[in-house]
Chain A
Amino acid sequence: MDKSPRLWTGFAFPGTAWLLALFAVPFYAVACVAFGSIDPIFRDAVPRWNPLTWDFSESKIIFSSLINGPLQGVAIRTIIYVVCAMLLSFLIGFPVAYFLARHAGKRKLMYLVLIILPFWVNYLMRMLAWVNLLSPSGLFSRFMNILGVHYNWLDGSPITVTLGLVYGYIPFLILPLYATLERLDWRLIDAARDLGANSRQAFRLVTVPMSKPGLFAAGVLIALPMSGDYYTNDLLSRSPSTEMLGNQIDFFLNASTQPQRGALLVLALSIFLLIFMSFYLRSTRQHARETTR
């Protein structure tokens, strides 16, 4: 298919127009509200549709607040929770995916089904399950009481929030990890072993470097939704002491009369994640280049 006949342009048109109107334009609308003005009487945001008239005074306040002001705690907490949750997810997810790809043998299909199941259980159901277990009369709390641990799990505990994020998003890590490891050329690892590497060396020097782009992409893939998460926090903590960026966005847009601040935080989150995304795109492109070679 050398040139692009009108038929294919016609096929691409409806979906592209849809995404332009309801994905690209909304981003612009966010910017227009973020850099707009505030109605002096009703305190509501008044968007400025012309970029030449954008007003950056409020954005300076919010961005400096995120870096070294009242919102600094929120920004730092978001990063710490997401990084910890990612590391833990890898710690748990990698061995699971590795086993599935390498050692599952004849039972692979059964394991695969069991690993995919939580993927299809509603996120809120999985959080509901933990709220029940962690509440003071819940099974897990009672079990921990027997062990001598008396801890209020559901009232502003950073541990619960981080573990909640791990529990919520780890299925989304394991599947791409498994897909990456599954595609590896395991003969190279066998070759390393035959050439005298012990299993640890083969893992460190062959398996990990080969699966790096996939690991990286999978990590970014869960870091993105984790960074914007607010409902895990709402359900498992409900305390200002564990609030993340997503909670602030939710608050400003849905519960307050300051949508401009919400819009600015959406922009801040997007810019922050854009850095992640560019890494992701670069690593997937690199990976594609390597695999098609």
Chain B
Amino acid sequence: MTLVASQSQRRARTSPLVFVIWAYIIWSLVPVIIAVIYSFNNGRSRTVWQGFSLRWWFTDPNASLWHDDSMRNAIFNSLVLSIATMLVVTPLGITLAIGAQRIRGRGSNVVQGLTAAPLITPEIVVGAALLITFTRLFTAVPLGFTAQLLGNVTFSLSSVVVIVRARLVSIGSSFEEAARDLGASRWQALRFVLLPMLWPSVMASLVVVFATVIDDFVITSFLSSGVNSETVPLRIYSSVRGGATPALNALATLLVITSFTALVIGLFGLSTWRKRHGERGGLRAALADVTQMES
């Protein structure tokens, strides 16, 4: 009886907050949608609408996104950097997550502390520290792509560990113990039982790292060496306040499309995997995977 009553009360109280959430959604998304629309502006202005055209995307022979060499260069750099980081950090993060979960003894505290610290360190501190390190201590590392790669791996390693460890906790130890009872060595239990089960967290890590790195500004900017290693966020940063044309909006839109594509591929992959392996599936579980949130 009480349950029914309180539920109906709840429904009655819904109305004022529904306006808040919609106001928030509109506030958070509409400016971006307007910026996307202005990438199709026919004039040079990013603020005054002069009709629809694909001028800044394709047709302008020099200044369009498709024909501007420096923008294409930035897109190329961004893709290379995020894919390279993804490939380096994922295996490193998986092994670290497994090791950090199971290591005991004196070394354990060092491992836990080092893995947690980057999560609560502002990016500017990591970027500045690495800039000083690469220019004064590890001088063999040149600024530019190599430094940006090392920096982004360092900064995103902990988030991979968080994702994989959450999965390790939810798997538990019973599967591996069963394999051990059936005669598998520690390594075999790991290789043939645990690793295949880690796959959703691997997919989530790939997506999260790709999206974080392609969007990264601070570390990539501190460790860049000028135009050669300019990525899309750096390019946007340096031209937002200048007299840039709507091609800049097009460039930013492309960046958004890229991370959304990665997100959709990841969500699709995750929910398919979960369905095929008979796990509690659906979009919500997949969303929880990529947002590092328990659902």
A62 in the interface (beta carbon within 8 A) = no
Please give me the residue from chain B that is nearest to A3 by CB atom.
Answer: B104
> Which label, helix, strand, loop or mixed, suits the secondary structure of the A interface?
helix
A84 in the interface (beta carbon within 8 A) = no
The one of B122, B173, B284 that contacts A228, using a Cβ cutoff of 8 Å: B122
Please give me the residue from chain B that is nearest to A170 by CB atom.
Answer: B28
B252 touches A231 (CB 8 A): no
A27 in the interface (beta carbon within 8 A) = yes
A19 touches B291 (CB 8 A): no
Q: Mark B10-30, 1 if CB is under 8 A from A, else 0.
A: 110110011011001101110
Contacts of A119 in B (CB 8 A): 291
- Number of chain B residues close to chain A: CB under 8 A: 98
A158 in the interface (beta carbon within 8 A) = no
The one of A7, A14, A254 that contacts B186, using a Cβ cutoff of 8 Å: A7
* Given A122-B233, A230-B124, A263-B132, residue A129 in contact with residue B99 (CB < 8 A): no
Q: How far is the CA of A130 from the CA of B240 in the complex (A)?
A: 10
B40 in the interface (beta carbon within 8 A) = no
A129 touches B104 (CB 8 A): no
B32 touches A118 (CB 8 A): yes
- Number of chain A residues close to chain B: CB under 8 A: 106
Q: How far is the CA of A137 from the CA of B44 in the complex (A)?
A: 13
Contacts of A22 in B (CB 8 A): 130, 133, 150-151, 153-154
Contacts of B63 in A (CB 8 A): none
Q: How far is the CA of A129 from the CA of B47 in the complex (A)?
A: 10
Interface, chain B (partner A; CB < 8 A): 2-3, 6, 9-11, 13-14, 17-18, 20-21, 24-25, 27-29, 31-32, 34-35, 38, 45-48, 92-93, 95-96, 98-100, 102-105, 107-108, 110-111, 114-115, 117-118, 120-126, 128-133, 136-137, 150-151, 153-154, 157, 161, 173, 186-187, 190, 211, 214-215, 217-218, 222, 232-233, 236-237, 240-241, 248-249, 252-253, 255-256, 259-260, 263, 283-284, 287, 291, 293-295
Interface, chain A (partner B; CB < 8 A): 1, 3-5, 7-16, 18-20, 22-27, 29-30, 33, 45, 47, 92, 95-96, 98-100, 102-103, 105, 109, 111-133, 135, 137-139, 154, 167, 170-171, 175-176, 178-179, 182-183, 190, 193-194, 199, 220-221, 224-225, 227-231, 234-235, 238, 246, 249-250, 253-254, 259, 262-263, 266, 269-270, 273, 277, 280-281
